[in-house]
Amino acid sequence: MSNEMNDWLKDHEEGEKLALSGDTKMLDYNIFFTSDTHFGHQNIIKYCDRPFDDFNHMNEILIKNWNEVVKPDNIVYFLGDFAFGNVKNYYRDLSERLNGEIILLKGNHDRGKELEKYFDLIDHMHPFTFAGYKFVLSHRPLPKNQIPVGYYNLHGHIHNNTLQFENTLTGVTYDLEKSINVSTDVTDFKPINIIDIINNIMK
DSSP codes of every residue in 126-179: EEEEETTEEEEE-SSPPPGGGSPTTEEEEE-SSTTSPPPSB-TTT--B--TTTE
User: Does 28 score more than 90 pLDDT?
Assistant: no
* 128-141 confidence digits (pLDDT tens): 999 899 999 999 99
Gap between the Cα atoms of 57 and 62, Å rounded? 9
The confidence score (pLDDT) of residue 36 equals 96
First to last CA, the chain: 28
pTM (predicted TM-score): 0.85
Gap between the Cα atoms of 56 and 58, Å rounded? 5
- Does residue 142 or residue 1 have the better pLDDT? 142
User: Does 77 score more than 90 pLDDT?
Assistant: yes
Domains of the chain (ranges; CATH) run 3-202 (3.60.21.10)
Listed in sequence order, the DSSP H helices in the chain are 3-12, 43-47, 55-69, 87-97, 115-118, 194-202
CA angle, 54 then 58 then 61, to 5°: 140
Gap between the Cα atoms of 96 and 110, Å rounded? 18
Residues 6+ apart with CB under 8 A from 45: 52, 54, 55, 58
Q: Please tell me whether residue 200 adopts helix, strand or coil conformation.
A: helix
* 160-194 confidence digits (pLDDT tens): 998 888 787 777 898 999 999 999 999 999 999 99
The confidence score (pLDDT) of residue 15 equals 40
Question: What residues pair up with 34 in beta bridges, in sequence order?
Answer: 78
CB distance 160 to 48 below 8 Å: yes
Gap between the Cα atoms of 20 and 69, Å rounded? 22
